[in-house]
Copies of this chain bind each other. A is one copy, B any other.
Amino acid sequence: MSFDHLQDQIRAMKNPTVVGLDPKPEYVPPHILQACYEEFGANLAGAVHAVYRFNCGLMDALSDIVPAVKPQSAYYERLGWRGMKMLERTIAYAKEKGYFVIADVKRGDIGSTAQAYSEAWLGKTQIGEGAFAAFGADCVTVNGYMGSDAVNPFLDTCRAEDKCLFVLVKTSNPSSGELQDRMAGDRLVYQVMGELTQRLGGTAGKYGFTPAGAVVGATYPSDLQELRKRLEQTFFLVPGYGAQGGTAADVRYAFDKHGHGAIVNSSRGIMCAWQKTGKNGEDYQEAARNAAIAMRDDIRQFVTIA
């Protein structure tokens, strides 16, 4: 699905947020872990079943209020091929539930290798006479350090499949400035990356956004504000809200005058909401739902979605 579809879903729910599915072991409620270790063993097989059960429970609890989920590939890769199988199943379940799925893979490679990645995550793999979708997400994150050679093969797949991507532009982490904030000629490195992204994006959809979005962190709100002005046709994925320190007042700068063009991520704040209720995770679904509603309402104080 394209950014048009994502924006439609955001408008329908009046909620411009995405829930990260980053199943670190300590995020999974103990009763789920224990049950899966008993059933499948305290090993990689047990861990992947626990992760999948937790993911599905979260998605069941949130599907009428949250438009999108964003699984983080690293937490599945650390569980080996079984983790990747469970990531496929997580994405398939999310699609069944109607979520827009952003695969947070931050892949960055060139030419035919970038094409292979785009087939893996967004497109289809041709084998003999058949075409097979491997992971089947709607959208991916892409690292553009290698230049347009790393982004264009993904964009070709996006155009063929009506999908979209986010290029890392200004990330939310403390050391992001070491490279991204360097002065490169008359602009900063992240501005160069932002302009490259908008230029490569090409034709805009019905809401005015190209298939090439940008990751811009909530933790640097003045950069966010300035990028919103420069990159009018670029949809933003905004990490850094909540646990990393970004506030609703900060993230409002990511949106255009219609309240469109951005989606704000929260992972820990939703997945770990159960850790604050004193019920040892038995109430993880209710806790996640309450946290997702609180986040939505927090952002709606500052953003009105037309």
Contact = CB atoms under 8 A, between A and B. Distances in A.
Contacts of A25: 126-127
Contact of A77 (B44, B120, B174, B189): B120
A191 to B, nearest CB: 11
B171 A134 contact: no
Chain A interface secondary structure, helix, strand, loop or mixed?
A: helix
B189 A179 contact: yes
Nearest to A88: B81
Contacts of A87: 81
A175 interface: yes
A100 interface: no
B127 A146 contact: no
A149 B173 contact: yes
Give the 7 A-B CB pairs with smallest separation, nearest first. A147-B175, A42-B128, A80-B134, A147-B178, A81-B85, A182-B184, A74-B116
Interface of A: 22, 24-25, 37, 42-44, 46-47, 72, 74-75, 77-85, 87-88, 106-114, 116-117, 119-121, 125-130, 132, 134-135, 143-150, 168, 171, 173-180, 182-185, 189, 192-193, 196
20 contacts: A43-B128, A74-B117, A77-B116, A77-B120, A78-B119, A79-B134, A80-B88, A80-B134, A106-B143, A110-B173, A143-B143, A145-B179, A146-B175, A147-B179, A148-B178, A149-B173, A179-B189, A182-B192, A183-B184, A189-B189
